[in-house]
Structure 1
Amino acid sequence: MNDDHNPLYADACENCPTYDVFPESALRDGAEGIIAGYRCPNCRHVWTCGWRIVPGRAIPPEPTPDSPIFNRHVTARIHEQAAIARARKHLSRPDPDAA
């Protein structure tokens, strides 16, 4: 029996009472995480969510610009959040020259 209660990184829409919205696509955030992009099937609200990768869970596909199944707003949000995460990691590193 699988004890994983969320095998596809589903999330709930904060704009309407829709649960189990599955990500359209995701980008890896380093070796341990992903940033997933969602679009609510009911109200069309778009958002992202960061997740730690769970071994055995299927990771959503990466967005590609020529694929008709990916929404450009979702893809833009994923890339924006991935850039913010990279900047945070880069800026939070201690300065090796500081003493």
Structure 2
Amino acid sequence: MTDHNPLYADACETCPTYDVFPESALRDGIDGLIAGYRCPNCGHIWTCGWQIVPGRSIPPEPITDSSDFNEHVTARVHEQAAMARAIKHLSKGDPA
């Protein structure tokens, strides 16, 4: 079977740019990740949640000491990953 999206690419919602690859990503638990994107054409920034696909390359974690570091993408990735972890934790319910 061929993986039609081997790098977790996404499309920009503000301009007709396809195959925008994530700048960075964080795992939001065991089986998911939050990827951060910046459109190379219009500069739009967004995040997207993905189910981890076995064998697919995971985008790199945010690196703050790189010349390519984008604080807005990194902040959104960290915020969304924290929210996803909290939702998973809270959805387990109270066993009482």
TM-score range, shorter chain: over 0.9
Are 2:28 and 2:82, in contact at CA under 8 Å, matched by a contact in 1? no
Q: Which runs of 5+ in 1 are unaligned?
A: none
- How many residues align? The count is 96
**Partner AA of 2:5 in structure 1:** N
Give the C-alpha shift of residue 70 in structure 1.
2.2
CA contact under 8 A between 1:25 and 1:70: conserved in structure 2? no
2:3 corresponding residue in structure 1: 4
Query: 1:35-92, CA deviations, whole angstroms, 9 ceiling, x for partnerless residues?
Result: 0000000000000000111111111100022122221100000001011111111221
1:95 matched to 2:94: yes
Q: Which runs of 5+ in 2 are unaligned?
A: none
Corresponding residue for 1:84? 83
Runs of 4+ in 1 over 4 A off after TM superposition: none
Q: TM-score, normalised by structure 1?
A: 0.92
Query: In 2, are the aligned partners of 1:35 and 1:51 still within 8 Å (CA)?
Result: yes
